[in-house]
Structures are given as C-alpha cells and as structure tokens.
Structure 1
Amino acid sequence: MTSTTSDRPGPVRTIAFVLFSYGPNEPAGYERTVGALAAGCRELGITPLIVTSGPAEPGDADHPDMVRLASLTLPRPIMKPGILTALKDPEPVRAELRDLLARHRVDLVVWVDALYGLGYLDAAPAGVATVLQVHKVRADSFFDQAIAAAGAVLPISPYMVEEARAHGYDTSGWTIVPNPLMAAAVPVPALTRERLRQDGPVRIVSRAEPFKGLAELLSAIPDGWQRPVELVLARAGFEYWPGMQDEVVTAVRAAAAERPDVVTVLDPLPWEKVQPFFAGAAATIIASYEPETFCNTAAEAMSTGTPVVGFGIGNLPHLVGDGGVMVALERGYGALWQEVGRLTDDEARYHDVSASAARRTAEHAPASIVRALIAATRTTAAG
C-alpha cells in the first residue's frame, strides 16, 4: 500500500524506538517488534528512527532508519554483565541520546525496555512525549525509574499486566498495546488449508534458547509419527551465559538426528519470510516451558490460519484462545504431539480453529498497532 502524509495520525511525524540490542532480522521478540513498528510507521507516512548501540556493522548503510550511539558500544553476543559495565557512567549516553532525539526532531520516543531500551535514563528532550513498552517485568531499579520517567506505560500483553500486579505495581493507568505482525493477517485459502491439514508439515520458528524446549520436544516425537517437522533455528545477538546457544544447537541437532525421517533443521529466515513460511504449515508448536510474554511466532502462524499447540502458560492462552490448543505443562512434550494429531485428524474442528486463529490476529497489522500506540499515548497523557 502506498502511504501518504494524510494517513499520518495527527502531528506525529517522527517516532524514535530505542533498543540498544537492535539488529535487522535479529531472531528476538524486542527486535522483531521494533522492525514491525517501523514498517507500520512507514505505511502511515511517519518517519521511524531506530536508536541502538555500537559498534557499526557491515550493512548498516542499508538501514537508513537506524542510528548507532557512539557513547555505547556493546560486544556480541551481549550479556548483562557487559551491559552494566558499559553503562557504569550513563551520563555520556544520556547526553548523546537527548541530543540525537532533539536533532532528529522526534515527536514521540518509545523506550522498548527499561534497561535494553534505556528507558531508565529519562533522556527525552523537554516537551517530547515518551512511552515505556513492557515486554518483561523485571521489578528492579531500572524498571522503577523507567516507569516513573515515562509519559505512558504500555504492556504488550494481558500477561504482562498480571505479572506487574503480582509484583505490586499499580497498573490502573497502563494501556495494553500488543506486538504487531510484520504484515497484515492473510489466511491461506480453504482448499490449501485442507491439503495442509491432511499432510502439511508442522513448522516451528525459534531462536536457540534453552527455555524454548526444542530438544525436549523433538525427543518426544512418537515412534509412529510420520508428518514432516521443520524447525527454523536461529542464533541471537545475546546470551544468558557464554556458549548458551552452542549448547542449545548441539542438543537440538542431536534430538533431530534421532528422527531423520521426519525432522529437518533449517537456517534462519528474514523477518518478512516467517509468515509465508507458516502459511505452508498444518500447525505450529510452542514448546516453551517458561512463560512467553507475548509470543510473536504464535501470532505470525495464526495470521495465516495455522493453529498453535502449546503449553498453556504465560501469554499464550490469552493470545491463542480458540485459535489453537493449550496443553497443561505437567502433561509433558508428548501431549503436544498428541494434540497436534487429534486436531489435524478432526476436519471440522481443525477448520474452525484455523478460522479463529486468523480472526484473532486481524487487528495486529503494523499500521494498526502504530495507531494504537499513538492513541494510547494520548489517552494516558490526557488521563
């Protein structure tokens, strides 16, 4: 769709998204969300500005919306001790950030996280509206400072509101603005969906993180399982401990080797290719054994009419609803495969679930979420 300045909501001309771990096509929720929000801005005739850390990387020139802070350089992979060391003296970062936002005449600043999005620095120029996205409730001093500084607090899911309340935060003034898709929901045609139900693959997209339960899931494939299983596995630019992703990749490949007749491990996909990939799946599985705070890949699958089967924890039940099947965590990984089989064996139920999946993500188009973000900012400020 061709954008025009008349599409632009009100006086907002430039929105800055601050996330110091950002990288194009990074296989992580914060980064992919920022990429989708930037796409929504462009569709509406709004200029996105993505502010991240150094050092510069090959290919930066291909992303003119992205600028790097000279005062904040982080190694790859990023780990929290390195972050805290780099921000031991935050004043140069705060000063550069405030100057950069002023020079670009930013109308709205989105701190993507209290720490990773530098929300705790309170570095917006005077008179510039700010919002703090809540992708995780960290309940630490960074989080508290960022909440106090932000003009509006926007959790990405009902689950984030539940978590914040459980930690004692007053969420009465917060507004949920969910993560956007990279592109509007487009369910595959009914005849194609029926062919996928009969013999389409189970497709999974994930980064190499231990809590995603990928090796455990593959090891639990039933002996008689014949439907293809295709897993896109990607390494991110951050780790919780050195070598974490190597450990996960090794474990996943070992589990896949137990069933080479059905399992294929695939290379990472660019963001815009994920929804089309899911459009060719009978179902996807979210095997995370720790709560997902939103779950972009579930929404991406649902947007094409592909049902989601997963453990009923975190935001997944809120997001998926009747667009998939939730399994109690204590039932284990074998139950996930069992429920995929039951769903795909039941033609009427499968198509009902598929239609619900697409319907539940219809409002997650990038431009729609940018509009919601701006509206929530104004509503909260007015309140």
Structure 2
Amino acid sequence: MLSQGRPLTIAFCLLSFRPDHPSGIERSLAALIEGVRQLGHEALVLAAGPAQAGDAAEPGLIRLASVQLPRPATNNDVLAALADPAPVVAEVAALLTEHAVDLVCWGDTLWGLGYLDAAPPGVRSALMVHKVRPARDERWHRALAAASVVCPASTYLAQEGVEAGWDTTRWRTVPNALLMTPRPVPSAEREMLRRDGPVRVVSRVEPAKGLAELVDAIPPDWNRPIELVLAEADFEFWPGMQADVIAACRAAAARRPGLVTIRPALGWRQVPGYLAGAAVTIISSIEPETFCFTAAEALSVGTPVISFDFGNVPLLAGPAGRMVPLPHGAEALWEATDALLKDARAYHAAATAAPGQVAAYTPAAAAEALLAAAASAPPRPGRPAEDALPVPPPR
C-alpha cells in the first residue's frame, strides 16, 4: 500500500535492459531511473539473465532466474522463454513483494512483461508505450487491460493512440528524457563545424533505419567526411538481421573510399559529446520514429537535424531541423543537408534554436510526470480499491 510522505520504491521491467544498451526503450527507462533517484525515491530494474559485463553500472539491476535469453534474442526466443509464464509471474511478484515496490513500470508489452499482469495486489502498474501495437496483437490488449495507467513516451504516440481508436481514458503521456544536459557548442566553433565539420549519424542497426540507403545516396561530388556509428543491440527481428545491415553499410561505404567511416557503439553519455562535433546529423529512418533519442541528443548540443517529414522528429526538431518528404528518398536528405550547410544564417538560426527544443526533457521532469500519471489515472474496472490509492507528490 502506498503511503503519504515517504520515499517510494519503483520497479522497471525490461528483459533486454543493460547499461549502455543502444535501444530507445532502455535509454528511456535509464532517464526515468535517474529522475526517480533525483526525487529521492528508490529504483529497481528487472531484466532477463544471464548476467553481463557492465551490470554493476546499474546498482538496482536484478537478473531474473526464470528468464534466460541468448544475445541477440528474437521475439521467438522471448516467447519460448515465456511458454510457461507461471515461474516468471511468480518470481516477478515475489521480487516486487520482497522489495516493497509501490509502482512497477512494464517497459514493453512482451519484452517488458506487460501482458503477464504480474503485479501483486495493491501494487500499481504502468505500461510504458513506445509503439502503438495493432489491434490484432492479443498481448497488447492484455497489457492495456492489466495496467493501472498507460504511459506513451511522446505526445506523438498519444495522438497515434487516439487516431487508432484506442480507449485512452487511462493514458497519460510521460515524455522521454535525456540523461544529461550538455552545454551547446559555442557559436564560433559551430561556424567551423558548418564549414568543415563531419556529418555524423548514430543509430541502432536495423533495416528500417535506412542506413545503407543513406550511404548509397551520397552525392557524387560530396567531399565532407561522413561518420556512421552502428550500434548492435541484444535483440533483432530475425537471426542475422544486424549482420546483414552492417554488411550492406560496409559495402556501400566501400564504394566511396576515404569518405565514410564506420564506428562501433558509444555509451549513452558519450553520444551527446560525439554529436556536438558534427556539422549536422541525419535521421534516415523509413518508418516513423516515435521519439528519437539521437535527434534529441543532437539538438541538446546545438547540432541541426535532417530527416524525413513524418513521425516525432519534425515535432522534436521544429526550427532546428530540415525535413523532406519520404517519397523523395535519401537523396533528398543529402540535398537538404547541403542547402543548410551552405546557408550560414539559416544554419546558425537552426543551431541556436536546437537546445530549447529539448530543454524540458530532463530526468526529474520525466519522473514527476510518471508519478503524476500513476496518481491521476481513473480506476480500472474491477480494481477500484487498488487504483484509488494515492501516490505521494514528488519531493
């Protein structure tokens, strides 16, 4: 039971979680964990086993004995591990009880165990939404019904839920946050980057990110350095997916020798500083980004963003970005990049506007939004006593 005037214990669940994992959901939860602690509360993270090097970087991390996954894993691997959900539900419920958890946040419908409804009686639950699932997804229906509150990670996602016809009575937006707020690049240094700085792209390895297509579309007369940070995740949609994408990117880069450099993954806190050294960054995703941490991190240091005109990136970047129609293809991304870099006045206006676009996305603000969401959601049918319990206001 939740009590007024005491610190809370909040658990986050995501099977693929590990520190510095190059995935948007992990970065979202990491910022929430940071914010929860800044507000004086305790945070735990439940993830699949086995243990990994680097786990010690997250002191609240608990590896589940009942779920062991290969790395990288696919959805089929997760479903096989959860074929008998009883041991998983029992272990999760026992851990939530043992640690006197007040609120548990399921990081995803499947990978975050949201559909299993493993919260013990009296423990509120939040389903963190980073993608609105199709109506045919039975686990999505179960996760929505089980959660005390549903928390889309952006206003774009919240609107997508409305447009898809979902009952959003218990939906409360909890915007993603950036782990750190770096200082924007000074104007004189920014001008040097405009003239000669590299184009830097930071992305998880996935076909929908449009990475090989972006490299293939580099104009023949382009001579500014291009750097791609390709980050392999602990999950993929089919075996070998990431290897295929990396091979395609390397083949495309080889057709422009000396121009394109491919680099390995960076840690979460390294990304903003790396993007600070870019003239621009390009988001080449051919499916809509529902938040886009790379764009937000670039904006935080004053680096303009080039992307397609759909998803959350145009809303995020505003005047600090240049958007092109998706049907125009990756060639249009390079055309927009070239035009912005050649226009000093427009470039510096975009760079100046950039930090303000994401200034509100702080860990404490995200954690406060989460606690407010848990406090304000209406009761679920059949569970009014549990849902009526008040959450203490953030300190």
TM-score by length of structure 2 reads 0.91
Q: Which amino acid aligns with 1:107?
A: D
- Give the 5 Å matches for 1:240-255: 240-255=237-252
Q: CA deviation at 1:36?
A: 2.0
Q: 1:12 to 1:127 in 2, by over 3 A?
A: farther
What is the SS of the residue equivalent to 2:184? coil
Q: CA deviation at 1:321?
A: 1.9
Which among 229, 232, 236 is matched to residue 232 of structure 1? Answer: 229
Q: Partners in 2 of 1:238 and 1:180 — Cα distance?
A: 23
1:26 is aligned to 2:18: no
Which among 106, 109, 117 is matched to residue 114 of structure 1? Answer: 109
2:12–2:43 Cα contact (<8 Å) kept: yes
Q: CA deviation at 1:172?
A: 4.1
1:17 is aligned to 2:12: yes
1:205–1:233 Cα contact (<8 Å) kept: yes
Any unmatched runs of 5+ in structure 1? 1-8
Q: Partners in 1 of 2:312 and 2:7 — Cα distance?
A: 31
Q: CA deviation at 1:333?
A: 0.8
* Residue equivalent to 1:266: 263
What is the SS of the residue equivalent to 1:288? coil
Q: 1:76 to 1:344 in 2, by over 3 A?
A: same
Q: Partners in 2 of 1:59 and 1:25 — Cα distance?
A: 9
* Residue equivalent to 2:190: 193
What is the SS of the residue equivalent to 1:25? coil
* Residue equivalent to 1:86: 81
Q: CA deviation at 1:10?
A: 5.7
State the Cα deviation string for residues 179-225 of structure 1 (Å, max 9, x = none): 11121253222222222122111111011111111111011111111
Q: Which amino acid aligns with 2:244?
A: E
1:185–1:358 Cα contact (<8 Å) kept: no
- Give the 5 Å matches for 1:211-360: 211-360=208-357
Q: CA deviation at 1:326?
A: 0.9
Paired residues in the alignment total: 375
Q: CA deviation at 1:129?
A: 2.1
Q: 1:58 to 1:143 in 2, by over 3 A?
A: same
* Residue equivalent to 1:39: 34
Q: CA deviation at 1:12?
A: 4.2
- Give the 5 Å matches for 1:131-210: 131-139=126-134, 140-210=137-207
Which among 102, 105, 108 is matched to residue 100 of structure 2? Answer: 105
What is the SS of the residue equivalent to 2:10? strand
Any unmatched runs of 5+ in structure 2? 380-387, 389-395
Q: 1:380 to 1:185 in 2, by over 3 A?
A: farther
Percent identity over the alignment is: 52
Q: Partners in 2 of 1:28 and 1:72 — Cα distance?
A: 20
Q: Which amino acid aligns with 2:242?
A: Q
Q: CA RMSD in A?
A: 1.8
What is the SS of the residue equivalent to 1:226? coil
* Residue equivalent to 2:385: none
Q: Which amino acid aligns with 2:22?
A: P
Q: Which runs of 4+ in 1 moved over 4 A?
A: none
* Residue equivalent to 2:392: none
* Residue equivalent to 2:119: 124
TM-score by length of structure 1 reads 0.93
Q: Partners in 1 of 2:262 and 2:161 — Cα distance?
A: 37
Q: Which amino acid aligns with 2:365?
A: S
Q: Partners in 2 of 1:15 and 1:187 — Cα distance?
A: 33
State the Cα deviation string for residues 306-341 of structure 1 (Å, max 9, x = none): 111001122222222222011100111111011111
1:63 is aligned to 2:63: no
2:284–2:330 Cα contact (<8 Å) kept: yes
What is the SS of the residue equivalent to 1:246? helix
Q: Which amino acid aligns with 2:127?
A: L
Q: Partners in 2 of 1:10 and 1:17 — Cα distance?
A: 22
What is the SS of the residue equivalent to 2:377? helix
1:12–1:108 Cα contact (<8 Å) kept: no
Q: Partners in 1 of 2:252 and 2:85 — Cα distance?
A: 44
Moved more, 180-189 or 25-34: 180-189
Which among 56, 72, 75 is matched to residue 77 of structure 1? Answer: 72
* Residue equivalent to 2:384: none
2:115–2:140 Cα contact (<8 Å) kept: yes
Q: Which amino acid aligns with 1:253?
A: R
Q: Partners in 2 of 1:376 and 1:123 — Cα distance?
A: 20
Q: CA deviation at 1:159?
A: 2.7
Q: 1:186 to 1:377 in 2, by over 3 A?
A: farther
* Residue equivalent to 1:369: 366
Q: Partners in 2 of 1:62 and 1:316 — Cα distance?
A: 30
1:184–1:366 Cα contact (<8 Å) kept: no
